[in-house]
Amino acid sequence: MQSALSGSLAIYPGCVPAISGQRPMLAERILSGKPAGFALRLLPQLYALCGEAHRLCATLAVNAALGLSDSASGEHAERLADETAREHIRRIWLDWPIRLSSSSAVMAAGFGLSELARCALLKPAGTRDEAAGHWVEECMLGTTVGNWLAGWQDDPGGWLDAWSRRSDVWPARLLARCREHAQLTGAARPLAVHADPVALRELAREIEASAS
């Protein structure tokens, strides 16, 4: 019964769409005939993953239906970014050991959980401040954010391989156990012809020629 209610999500990195869901449409059935304000209380509980995002979207939708002048703002974007960071950290520390490790490694997960307890972003009213940034670099990346991103953007597959081999941070140790599989699911590089004005003009000429 529980599995029928929760459904499932399948992720396909590099594809569009990247997520396919088989979850039942519960919100419409539950909210039908209820006061609008009920949705604001229910949705974050019904969809606990990224509950703040559901709360915000429900608030904006209800306000729009009532004709109130409320729209997404920079503050909303900050709240969603904070929640996105928190959810990623929780999933990596709580789910990855079970999915990517042997049973003995899961038993040794106290190392990872002690670090998770120190994460400033997971504290009450935690935000992506300087303390949270230091924690990410020390416990999650093992290097500066700029250095990690530079390696990833230059060569995702090579960087993942090198980083998971030499770094001792918890995420790298877990990914090292599935390095070969991770290489198979890397996101495809975008063509992005618009990023090069010369290539874009050449593409336009080719399209025009093929149409004539």
HEC assignment per residue over 35-100: CHHHHHHHHHHHCCCCHHHHHHHHHHHHHHHCCCCCCCCHHHHHHHHHHHHHHHHHHHHHCHHHHH
Could you tell me if residue 100 is inside a domain?
no
* The total number of structural domains that make up the chain: 1
Could you tell me if residue 15 is inside a domain?
yes
> What is the per-residue burial (b if ≥16 Cβ within 10 Å, else e) of 144-158?
eeeebeebeeeeeee
- Tell me the pLDDT band of 146, cut-offs 50, 70 and 90: very high
Q: Is the pLDDT of residue 187 over 70?
A: no
Helix (H, G, I), strand (E, B) or coil at 31: helix
Q: What are phi and psi of 146, to 5 degrees?
A: -60, -45
Q: For residue 50, what pLDDT is reported?
A: 77
What is the arithmetic mean of pLDDT over 154-183? 85
Task: Give the separation between CA 44 and CA 93, rounded to whole angstroms.
Answer: 22
- Tell me the pLDDT band of 77, cut-offs 50, 70 and 90: confident
Q: For residue 1, what pLDDT is reported?
A: 44
Residue pLDDT, tens place only, 109-119: 555 778 888 88
Over its C-alpha atoms, the chain yields an Rg (Å, rounded) of 22
Could you tell me if residue 185 is inside a domain?
no
Residue ranges making up the domain that contains 47: 1-66
Could you tell me if residue 111 is inside a domain?
no
Could you tell me if residue 138 is inside a domain?
no
DSSP state of 33: T
Q: For residue 14, what pLDDT is reported?
A: 63
Task: Give the separation between CA 41 and CA 95, rounded to whole angstroms.
Answer: 27
Q: Is the pLDDT of residue 165 over 80?
A: yes
Asked if 79 contacts 72 with a C-beta cutoff of 8 angstroms, the reply is no
Could you tell me if residue 14 is inside a domain?
yes
Neighbours of 39 (CB within 10 A): 21
Q: For residue 140, what pLDDT is reported?
A: 92
Least confident of 37-46, 85-94, 128-137, 139-148: 37-46
Could you tell me if residue 78 is inside a domain?
no
- Tell me the pLDDT band of 142, cut-offs 50, 70 and 90: very high
More confident site: 166 or 201: 166
Q: Is the pLDDT of residue 2 over 60?
A: no
Could you tell me if residue 17 is inside a domain?
yes
What is the arithmetic mean of pLDDT over 82-106? 78
On the question of a cis peptide bond just before residue 17, with omega within 30 degrees of 0, the verdict is yes
Task: Give the separation between CA 140 and CA 122, rounded to whole angstroms.
Answer: 14
